[in-house]
Amino acid sequence: MGGSTDVDAAFVWLIKNSGGGDILVLRASGANGYDDYIYGLGRVNSVSTIVCNSKDASTDPFVLEKINNCEGLFFAGGDQSIYVSYWKNTPVEDAVNRLINQKRVTIGGTSAGMAIQPQFAYTGEVTSITSPEALNNPYHRGVTIATDFIYNPLLQNVITDTHFYERDRMGRLVTFIARLEQDGQVTRAARAVACDEATAVIVTDDGYGTVINQNGGLAYFLYATRAPTVCRSGVPLTFEDVEVVALRAGEEFDFVNWSTTQGRKYYLNANVGVLTSVGNGGRIY
């Protein structure tokens, strides 16, 4: 989910997939505002929020018990660098991965909670990099990418971004993909998923995702068809033929084959740090 207004239908779907069980919200700041909200969207056994305000919580038996026993897990928004710092290489990481890969529990997240779900997570731990900054220098100190926190087979070789159109983040996401390719971090072509605000993608365990939203936002699926031409420190990015598919509410995407017959398909080119498009009327989004 791309941040800002929560998508009611996504939580209804989470409740349904939990079997009306115990829903847990994890976050590192804020309060328990999701509890009443989720209660109001469907019948559940319980809704709990745990605010982890230090790394010590990642070994707390109570926290681990709540994670291990939940039937639905949701990561709230916030600061993804704190999530990675507190939870990566800890018992919390192990518990979350057991939920996904053994217990087969549905998980979700918005904004920072979306950022941490794929194999590669943009952390923003130094500064929130802008598109012009990233395109002008792919090795800017603000391009910080963590690896292998959550293991979801459908999100390998993938990085995500949120608040997408609203904060003009296409350029930086293209740069993230270029970095994954240039640094040899991917085992197949680098991919990305991005959501506008108030927009979500719900994905079944067989890999089919459906876009849902509250205000007409889009979801974007990117794919590197070739390696970057120029991707090095202090030099503007040149990276061609990045495939983009933009999907509206109700349209579907196959995560297993990374394909769809729906939506708008076009290509992006970064030429010496300037992003242009082919096949979308000259538009980036």
- 193 and 100 part of one domain: no
- 1 and 125 part of one domain: no
- 19 and 61 part of one domain: yes
- 171 and 72 part of one domain: no
For the entire predicted model, the pTM comes to 0.97
- 140 and 266 part of one domain: yes
Look up the CATH number of the domain holding residue 31. Answer: 3.40.50.880
- 12 and 137 part of one domain: no
Q: Tally the C-alpha atoms within 13 A of residue 138's C-alpha that lie toward its C-beta.
A: 27
Task: Provide φ and ψ at 118, rounded to 5°.
Answer: -85, 180
- 122 and 100 part of one domain: no
92, 111, 130 — which closes off a domain?
111
Residue 232 is part of which domain span?
118-285
List the strands of the sheet with 252-254, edge to edge: 199-203, 208-213, 252-254
- 63 and 133 part of one domain: no
- 156 and 270 part of one domain: yes
- 97 and 3 part of one domain: yes
- Rounded CA separation 251/24 (Å): 28
Segment holding 134, helix H or strand E: helix 131-136
Contact 215, 162 (CB under 8 A): no
88, 111, 134 — which closes off a domain?
111
Tell me the residue length of the chain.
285
- Rounded CA separation 192/142 (Å): 18
Per-residue pLDDT of the chain (285 residues; tens, 9 = 90+): 999 999 999 999 999 999 999 999 999 999 999 999 999 999 999 999 999 999 999 999 999 999 999 999 999 999 999 999 999 999 999 999 999 999 999 999 999 999 999 999 999 999 999 999 999 999 999 999 999 999 999 999 999 999 999 999 999 999 999 999 999 999 999 999 999 999 999 999 999 999 999 999 999 999 999 999 999 999 999 999 999 999 999 999 999 999 999 999 999 999 999 999 999 999 999
Following CA atoms 124, 200, 222, 96 in sequence, which dihedral angle do they give, to the nearest 10 degrees?
A: 60
74, 94, 111 — which closes off a domain?
111
- Domains in the chain, number: 2
